[in-house]
Amino acid sequence: MKRAKVNQNINLNDYNDIWVIGEQREGKIHPVTIELIGEAKKLAGEINKKVVVVVAGYEINEEVNKLLYYGVDKVIYLSNPLLKNFSTDGYSISISNLILERKPEIVLVGATSIGRDLGPRIAAKVGTGLVADCTMLSIDPEDKKLLQTRPAFGGNLMATIICPINRPQMATVRPGVMKKATHIDRPTGVVEVVAPAITEADIVAKVVKIMKSSKKTVDLTDAKIIVSGGRGVKGPEGFELIKALAEKLGGEVGASRACIDSGWIDSMHQIGQTGTTVRPEVYFACGISGAIQHLAGMSDSKYIVAINSDPAAPIFNVCDLGIVGDLKEVIPAMIEEIEKNKTFEI
């Protein structure tokens, strides 16, 4: 397949609309897509643009139609048997050629394992820049450019980046950061089916076999309850208490970066600026001091419960309920009370 050439003579006025690159896995739309739609609609309202979702796959018509119920103006469904399973070549070629043809002004991609692979390749193919792992997006009130904010220097400061010359303006956005789009009853958008002219020869790396790991996955972004441990747990054995409380509450286990760096728990549990951003119904911060890098990843939780032996810990400034005490005494007492009552609902 002949690759479309990048036009270096860009007229910014030729670019319109905000695109969300939808993600599907095994025929199901990934939740980050709904989060990106919500953010795209917010941005579109400020610059009077339409919101378009682009989804690549095959035989997923029902899932594609569901996206209309989140208030988008259009869904472009790239349908081809070669796109049924994700491939870097097939997806990046199909989407980048569509971008070069249709000229969206802004393109948003989820910062998932797939999005982090796909986003940079699309940006390179269309000749634009990409801001990775954004935690905030906004519109400059003066010139209407996209302001893309992300952690820098290990999360010690936040950098806001713009793309003043090239288009589209592209960003990958962390899952769990943006609020999901609201489901509506009467959609007005349309689905356009496009058949990309890709061939087997275009896809260098082939999917030979899909093998699922037997390792338990951690779903922090959709968890209603998260019990997190920090440096105050004082070692991997301290996480046994954290896991016990999470199990009693039907929640997930989280951790601060210090615990990950110390090797006390797997990195998939990390919450914060350089980890996962979460917004559960209840967040238990156990032995977590409340460093700004950690707060950035969980401060949007509906309720925050802090347990810390230091009454001056910054976490007490943001929590809804604070318990000053040794978590090795407090958590067993909590578990005992839960077992007595046998009920805990959110």
For the stretch 138-190, pLDDT in tens is 988 888 899 988 877 655 677 888 888 888 999 999 887 888 888 988 888 89
Q: Give the span between the Cα atoms of 241 and 287, in whole angstroms.
A: 12
The answer to whether the annotation marks 229 as part of a ligand binding site is no
- The domain made up of 225-341 has a fold known as Rossmann fold (3.40.50)
Instruction: Confirm or deny that 87 is annotated as ligand binding.
Output: no
Determine whether the annotation assigns residue 138 to a binding site.
no
Residue 290 marked in a binding site: yes
pTM over 0.85: no
256 is in an annotated binding site: yes
The domain spans of the chain are 12-202, 225-341
Whole-number pLDDT of residue 213: 62
**Is 277 among the annotated ligand-binding positions?**
no
Q: How many helices (H) and strands (E) does the chain have?
A: 8, 17
139 in a known ligand binding site: no
Q: Judge whether 308 is annotated as a binding position.
A: yes
Give the tokens for residue 108.
Answer: 């948003």
Is 214 labelled as part of a ligand binding site?
Answer: no
Residues 22 and 60: their CA atoms lie apart, in Å, by 12
Question: How deeply is 180 buried, as exposed, middle or buried, from its count of CB atoms within 10 A (0-12, 13-18, 19+)?
Answer: middle
Is 293 annotated for ligand binding?
A: yes
Phi, psi of 78 (to 5 degrees): -85, 100
148 marked among binding-site residues: no
Kind of pairing, strands 303-308 and 130-134?
unpaired
Q: Binding site annotation covers 267?
A: no
pLDDT of residue 151: 76
Which CATH code for domain 12-202? Answer: 3.40.50.620
169 annotated to bind ligand: no
CB count in 10 Å sphere of residue 33: 26
Domains 12-202 and 225-341 share a fold: yes
Percentage of the chain lying above the pLDDT 90 cut: 35
Residue 135, CA atoms < 13 Å, CB-side half-sphere: 21
pLDDT of amino acid 286: 92
122's tokens: 């699309």
Tens place of pLDDT for every residue, the chain, 346 residues?
A: 334 444 456 787 888 899 999 998 888 889 899 999 999 999 998 888 999 999 999 989 898 899 999 999 999 999 999 888 888 888 999 999 999 999 999 999 998 888 998 999 999 999 898 998 888 899 888 888 999 888 776 556 778 888 888 889 999 998 878 888 889 888 888 999 999 888 888 888 777 777 766 556 667 888 889 999 998 888 888 899 999 999 888 899 999 988 998 889 888 899 887 778 888 999 999 999 888 888 888 888 889 999 999 999 989 988 999 999 998 899 998 988 888 776 555 5
pLDDT value of residue 155: 58
Residue 272 annotated as part of some ligand binding site: yes
How much is the pLDDT for 8? 57
Q: How far is 227 from 253, CA to CA, in rounded Å?
A: 5
Asked if residue 292 belongs to a known ligand binding site, the reply is yes
Is position 271 annotated in a ligand binding site? yes
Q: What is the pLDDT of residue 51?
A: 93
- pLDDT at position 346: 53
20 bridge partner residues: 53, 108
Asked whether residue 297 is marked as a ligand-binding residue, the answer is no
